[in-house]
Chain A
């Protein structure tokens, strides 16, 4: 006698709740042999406002949205989406004239055949890494869009993600889930969570919809973690000793004119006790200062943010919103019949836009591996926990990398390089990379969320050194590498001619009367 999984109940409706609902419903759109579809319900209380600051995506979001059935045109028109080509880190490492570097989404020229990084290292002139090996930073500097105007043939496109207005994105997801994917939306409060030792969650009591139950519950209640923590007592593993920031001061700054150029990078500008993010949407920019309150009084932090805003625009917001957070993640993400996705599963500072990406990864794995019967829930849970554990660990290590390579001298930054806050696996790798370039084998399978190439962009962007004198004997493909450097230069020129400005592409997509994806 088996118990089929026919109903998944998602509690909470922000980006986590609605992305999970969409991915589950789209993946399980068919019917089983008994004519049953998967029922997906989202219970959302409108008394709890979503956090609304998760605004950068990875390129993976494009395939995720395609899977859900939302087109790019809808995203641009309804979620005020703009295009993201890279992250730009300003003042994280300063050395004479080189004070910033790019982490673009595109790989270096020729990377499918060979990594040309060792050959860049062997050149005597100290040129900027990302610019030399990849054409994308030049496109970002020139304010160009990552693809050609609609209906242009041949179409040109480079790798990109999005910047999103979180509130509008949620509204778009919700509408699509309810109208197109058959997701049931209950606008209601969960008044009581009924638990049982064998199942985990046995039912939810609601204010207006009686008792709701399902075979699987997804906790998307944000920091409250109503199910996974408050009801099932799964604790958070604290990582605040590794990544020190604990507060975000957030705001928006409108453009001076509706035709202002829009940046296609997420800019991260290092500050005295943290860093300021700056994301360009269509009508406004989202700006926030992520910092450690131990190193700053809150009014000092506000001063820093307002100074930044004065440099970048002509308006000052009246109020700034403060969000306190705990850096860390659940010890187990999937406990019995409850899976935590989104802020309930943990939080890391948004340095590499990992928040939406981890939601995607969680929801995709859940949807693909959704147990057909409750009898195998434990197996699915065990695999999910292992996989997500590895992904969170990989993300923490990658974020820490940015901090240990900085050469800033303020106390916050010095503390970030202190042995007490170190990750030994990362320290070991950094030691090896002094004597040879980063290789793909340095990233273990399962922990490959961030590729070796991402590590290279940060390591060499931060001007960390690799001594090539001994290892140069294994790098003998000099003419291939030179070809790639020249090809890269030529591609920059070619793309500069073919691509419209970021604003021009957005104007064209919004104005287009054709329903193009």
Chain B
């Protein structure tokens, strides 16, 4: 795989550039963790576990787990995507948002195999304007940026209420090996159950109550990862989850 080279999308330089869509998102073969925006939580949480990845700068980064290690994507096998949800970050490939001349600009990875000099879905019209495809990707990324900020605020809120607890995942492989995954947090159910009605009402009005429930329910999706592992080289027999409540 070529190293990425993101450049601002330019009507002159990239007039004939096209995108080759990959329904299997095979560029994400070795992506096991994806940070998500708060706006896509419900969609993603119904398909894959959502946890907070430990981060020195914050109380945790809201993320989807696609496999049992950072380079394993069990949803992407044999050129097919095996889930119904696809995190926006993966859908927006090979684009990104960046700042160009002080303005928010759409960037494209010119080294990506998803980008072609001719053919594919055109990015620009003959008059130099962005085609709807490009505008929609830009919109997706702008919404994602907003979503990341909303996720940060959500996580800070959880942290203030003492609702976060470290999560340990023990993965038991069919070949007898066991792997222990640390470094993430989930919801502390006991603290959650003891919240006052005022606190619950506030969370509900902020739209956070359902998000908390979604995160808790999404832990069930570890079963999904176990199922998906059966068709991968590293078959898993079972998974134990432990939320450390002090």
Which residues, 134 to 161 on A, are CB-close (under 8 Å) to B? 143, 148-149, 152
Segment from A52-60, A472-480, A491-499 that makes contact with B: A491-499
The residues of A that contact B138 with a CB separation of less than 8 Å are: 497
Partner of B129, one of A152, A258, A261, A498: A261
**A501 and B135 within 8 A (CB):** no
Contact with B along A21-55 (1 / 0, CB 8 A): 00000000000000000000000000000000000
- The docked-state distance in angstroms from the alpha carbon of A503 to that of B129 is 9
- The docked-state distance in angstroms from the alpha carbon of A258 to that of B127 is 9
**B126 and A500 within 8 A (CB):** no
**B127 and A501 within 8 A (CB):** yes
A420 within 8 A of B: no
- The docked-state distance in angstroms from the alpha carbon of A499 to that of B136 is 10
B136 → chain A closest CB, angstroms? 5
Partner of A497, one of B125, B127, B128, B139: B139
**B139 and A504 within 8 A (CB):** no
B209 within 8 A of A: no
Which residues, 469 to 517 on A, are CB-close (under 8 Å) to B? 493, 496-501, 503-504, 507
- The docked-state distance in angstroms from the alpha carbon of A450 to that of B167 is 67
B191 within 8 A of A: no
The residues of A that contact B136 with a CB separation of less than 8 Å are: 497-498
- The docked-state distance in angstroms from the alpha carbon of A258 to that of B125 is 12
A260 within 8 A of B: yes
The residues of A that contact B135 with a CB separation of less than 8 Å are: 496-498
A444 → chain B closest CB, angstroms? 43
Contact with A along B126-151 (1 / 0, CB 8 A): 11110110011011000000000000
When C-beta atoms are compared, the residue in chain A nearest to B140 turns out to be: A497
A300 within 8 A of B: no
Contact with A along B88-122 (1 / 0, CB 8 A): 00000000000000000000000000000000000
**B129 and A143 within 8 A (CB):** yes
The residues of B that contact A258 with a CB separation of less than 8 Å are: 126
- The docked-state distance in angstroms from the alpha carbon of A3 to that of B135 is 63
When C-beta atoms are compared, the residue in chain A nearest to B129 turns out to be: A501
**B132 and A499 within 8 A (CB):** yes
When C-beta atoms are compared, the residue in chain A nearest to B130 turns out to be: A501
Interface SS, B side: loop
A241 within 8 A of B: no
How many residues on the B side are at the interface (Cβ–Cβ under 8 A)?
11
A324 within 8 A of B: no
The residues of A that contact B125 with a CB separation of less than 8 Å are: 500-501, 503-504, 507
Which residues, 151 to 188 on A, are CB-close (under 8 Å) to B? 152
The residues of B that contact A261 with a CB separation of less than 8 Å are: 127, 129
**B126 and A259 within 8 A (CB):** yes
- The docked-state distance in angstroms from the alpha carbon of A496 to that of B136 is 9
Residue among A259, A260, A500 with most chain B CB within 10 A: A500
When C-beta atoms are compared, the residue in chain B nearest to A257 turns out to be: B127
The residues of B that contact A152 with a CB separation of less than 8 Å are: 132
Interface SS, A side: loop
A138 → chain B closest CB, angstroms? 14
When C-beta atoms are compared, the residue in chain A nearest to B136 turns out to be: A497
When C-beta atoms are compared, the residue in chain A nearest to B125 turns out to be: A504
A313 → chain B closest CB, angstroms? 16
Which residues, 177 to 219 on A, are CB-close (under 8 Å) to B? none
The residues of B that contact A148 with a CB separation of less than 8 Å are: 132
**A260 and B127 within 8 A (CB):** yes
**B131 and A500 within 8 A (CB):** yes
The residues of A that contact B132 with a CB separation of less than 8 Å are: 148-149, 152, 497-500
B10 → chain A closest CB, angstroms? 16
**B127 and A259 within 8 A (CB):** yes
- The docked-state distance in angstroms from the alpha carbon of A269 to that of B28 is 55
The residues of B that contact A149 with a CB separation of less than 8 Å are: 131-132
The residues of B that contact A143 with a CB separation of less than 8 Å are: 129
The residues of B that contact A500 with a CB separation of less than 8 Å are: 125, 129, 131-132
- The docked-state distance in angstroms from the alpha carbon of A148 to that of B131 is 10
**A507 and B129 within 8 A (CB):** no
When C-beta atoms are compared, the residue in chain A nearest to B134 turns out to be: A497
B240 → chain A closest CB, angstroms? 45
The residues of A that contact B128 with a CB separation of less than 8 Å are: 259
A133 → chain B closest CB, angstroms? 24
B145 → chain A closest CB, angstroms? 15
The residues of A that contact B127 with a CB separation of less than 8 Å are: 259-261, 501, 503-504
- The docked-state distance in angstroms from the alpha carbon of A100 to that of B138 is 31
- The docked-state distance in angstroms from the alpha carbon of A501 to that of B132 is 8
- The docked-state distance in angstroms from the alpha carbon of A152 to that of B136 is 13
- The docked-state distance in angstroms from the alpha carbon of A143 to that of B125 is 12
- The docked-state distance in angstroms from the alpha carbon of A259 to that of B129 is 10
B96 → chain A closest CB, angstroms? 18
When C-beta atoms are compared, the residue in chain B nearest to A502 turns out to be: B127
A127 → chain B closest CB, angstroms? 24
Which residues, 102 to 149 on A, are CB-close (under 8 Å) to B? 143, 148-149
- The docked-state distance in angstroms from the alpha carbon of A148 to that of B129 is 14
Residue among B129, B135, B136, B139 with most chain A CB within 10 A: B129
A149 → chain B closest CB, angstroms? 7
- The docked-state distance in angstroms from the alpha carbon of A497 to that of B139 is 7
The residues of A that contact B129 with a CB separation of less than 8 Å are: 143, 261, 500-501, 503-504
User: 8 additional contacts, CB 8 Å, given A261-B129, A501-B125?
Assistant: A148-B132, A152-B132, A261-B127, A497-B135, A501-B127, A501-B129, A504-B129, A507-B126
Give residues in B with beta carbon < 8 Å to A. 125-129, 131-132, 135-136, 138-139
A-B contact pairs, 29 of them (CB 8 A): A143-B129, A148-B132, A149-B131, A259-B126, A259-B128, A260-B127, A261-B127, A261-B129, A493-B139, A497-B132, A497-B135, A497-B136, A497-B138, A498-B132, A498-B136, A499-B132, A500-B132, A501-B125, A501-B127, A501-B129, A503-B126, A503-B127, A503-B129, A504-B125, A504-B126, A504-B127, A504-B129, A504-B131, A507-B126
Closest 3 CB pairs of A and B: A504-B125, A501-B129, A503-B127
